[in-house]
């Protein structure tokens, strides 16, 4: 087995026992990236010098017995939406080309404080707006399970880098499914924490009331270990929750005997791929065999979630993206006549088609005469969606659904059909509207060898139970052990 085939926790054990060094494994990651990333295109940029310097410092700490955390020396990478001091951060957009942040996002700082070398910045949909990584201004990322297919989006690079065994853990963000959907399409594990659990400080904003940074890994244990590093109250983020942080690995092996797991009929939607549904149904049956009780629940306002999301998220985006004017940072149009023209030319040349589409949708929803009819009404429906979940969680410990209605689709297949693309998040975005934790777990493969994901949703700040439920299934199946054929 190659070093890069190890899971994050397996590597941590080898580092602790002295069987390998952080420098050796960081060099192995860089070699693996050089070998396969020309085909996968998970990385937008590498920080080889910074990663190797961090690895050398980690090895020196271990030699002196002063390691910073159990994950000290484990190489990781982060989505290009996280600010990284001294390393270009573009959010996969031309409008931020050349922008070098003067400080780190809190999540990045926490990785560094844990001693983890950060190898580079990962591909994504531009400003996290997309479900296939095809809106990236720097070209699409490719799925290591089938290079002609998408790894999902917007955190496509974060998922693909794991599936291609280029790094051991990654950071993504999830506004409507952007961690969970790519995890489902690449046979990896992705966790969207409760809104407020992980700091958004230094994360480039898409929709501020929905954005949730979170960890991605190859196994449930890997994700639990990363969440332990990331879950902190942050006074720099006004939405960061001052709540206790449990030991996420303490009860990981606790099993599901006696738990009640809800199955909402609204999530098995018309048009769902039959092989996806079959894998998810098989996973539900497996939970029954493990001692859980399946309970039919109803989330009746689910049918309004997609429309609600695509009013609220673009509205917030139209406000957040107004800061990109060509004056303060990033790209500036050179041929402009006056300030107003500078704004227009910069945004026209700097933003891609999907970002422009969402800005226009959001600006329309917020405009005079339409604000009450669209934006305010959508906020009221959002409340109804959250109340559906509150009622359901009075009966059950967690809710299980498909993550994506289809397996990975071919690059280019949906790029000219925005509505079809938006429907890829139909199972994931209600979780964001309600601010709940959600996790995607590998649960099978199609006959063509494409991964299928199972989604688990839990009560606010109950990530520990979600991880425990996910681990119970993972322990009985080998899906996370299967490696992409690249």
Residues serving a catalytic function are: 79, 154, 178
Which of 288, 381, 359 has the alpha carbon at shortest distance from 129?
A: 359
Q: What is the CA radius of gyration of the chain?
A: 21
Please choose, from the candidates 456, 466, 459, the residue with its C-alpha nearest in 3D space to the C-alpha of residue 267. 456
| DSSP per-residue string spanning 201-257 | TTBPPS-TTT--EEEEESSHHHHHHHHHHHB---TTSTT--------TTTTTT---T
Q: CB 105: neighbour CB atoms within 10 A?
A: 26
3-state helix, strand, coil in the chain (%, to 5): 45, 15, 45
Work out the burial of residue 85: count CB atoms within 10 Å of its CB; fewer than 13 is exposed, 13-18 middle, 19 or more buried: middle
Angle 353-366/305-320 helices, nearest 10 degrees? 100
Nearest Cα neighbor of 179 from 203, 207, 157 is: 157
Location of structure tokens 């880098």: 161
What single DSSP character describes residue 367?
A: S
Using the structure block, give the residue that is written with the tokens 């990363």. 226
Residue 444 is inside which H or E element, if any?
strand 438-445
C-alpha pair distances (Å), 254 with each of 248, 451, 465 = 12, 26, 9
DSSP code string of 395-411 = T-SEEEEES-SSSPPBT
Half-sphere exposure (Cβ direction) of 201: Cα atoms closer than 13 Å: 21
- On whether the CB atoms of residues 175 and 207 are closer than 8 A, the answer is yes
45, 87 Cβ separation under 8 angstroms = yes
β-bridge mates for residue 120, sequence order: 46
């Amino acid at each position: 087995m190659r070093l890069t085939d190890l899971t994050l926790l397996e590597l941590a054990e080898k580092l602790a026992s002295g069987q390998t060094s952080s420098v050796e494994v960081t060099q192995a990651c860089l070699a693996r990236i050089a070998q396969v990333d020309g085909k996968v295109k998970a990385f937008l940029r590498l920080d080889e010098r910074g990663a190797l310097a961090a690895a050398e410092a980690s090895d020196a700490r271990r030699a002196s017995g002063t390691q910073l955390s159990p994950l000290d020396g484990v190489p990781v990478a982060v989505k290009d939406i996280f600010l990284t001091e001294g390393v270009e951060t573009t959010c996969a957009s031309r409008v931020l080309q050349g922008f070098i942040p003067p400080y780190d996002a809190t999540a990045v700082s926490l990785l560094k404080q844990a001693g983890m070398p950060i190898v580079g910045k990962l591909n994504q949909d531009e400003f996290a707006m997309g479900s296939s990584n095809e809106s990236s201004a720097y070209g699409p990322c490719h799925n290591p399970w089938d290079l002609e297919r998408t790894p999902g989006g917007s955190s496509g690079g974060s998922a693909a880098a794991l599936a291609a065994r280029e790094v051991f853990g990654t950071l993504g963000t999830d506004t409507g499914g952007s961690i969970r959907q790519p995890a489902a399409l690449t046979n990896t594990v992705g966790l969207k924490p409760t809104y407020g659990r992980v700091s958004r400080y230094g994360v480039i904003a898409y929709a501020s009331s929905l954005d949730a940074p979170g960890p991605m890994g190859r196994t449930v244990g890997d994700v639990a270990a990363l969440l332990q590093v990331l879950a902190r109250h942050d006074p720099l983020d006004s939405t960061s929750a001052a709540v206790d942080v449990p030991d996420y690995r303490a009860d990981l092996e606790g099993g599901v005997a006696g738990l009640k797991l809800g199955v909402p009929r609204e999530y098995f939607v018309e048009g769902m791929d039959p092989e996806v549904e079959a894998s998810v149904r098989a996973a539900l049956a497996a939970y029954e065999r493990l001692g859980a009780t399946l309970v039919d629940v109803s989330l009746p306002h689910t049918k309004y979630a997609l429309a609600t999301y695509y009013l609220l998220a673009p509205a917030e985006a139209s406000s957040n993206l107004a800061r990109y004017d060509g004056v303060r940072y990033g790209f500036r149009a050179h041929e402009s006549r006056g300030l107003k023209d500078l704004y227009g030319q910069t945004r026209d040349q700097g933003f891609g088609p999907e970002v422009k589409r969402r800005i226009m949708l959001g600006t329309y929803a917020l405009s005079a005469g339409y604000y009450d009819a669209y934006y305010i009404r959508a906020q009221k429906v959002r409340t109804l969606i959250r109340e559906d979940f509150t009622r359901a969680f009075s009966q059950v410990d967690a809710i299980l659904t498909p993550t994506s209605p289809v397996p990975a689709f071919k690059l280019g297949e949906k790029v000219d059909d925005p509505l079809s693309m938006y429907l890829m998040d139909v199972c994931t975005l209600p979780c964001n509207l309600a601010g709940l934790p959600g996790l995607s777990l590998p649960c099978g493969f199609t006959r063509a060898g494409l991964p299928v994901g199972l989604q688990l949703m839990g009560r606010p700040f109950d990530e520990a139970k979600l991880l425990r439920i996910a681990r119970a299934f993972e322990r009985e199946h080998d899906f996370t052990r299967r490696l992409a054929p690249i």
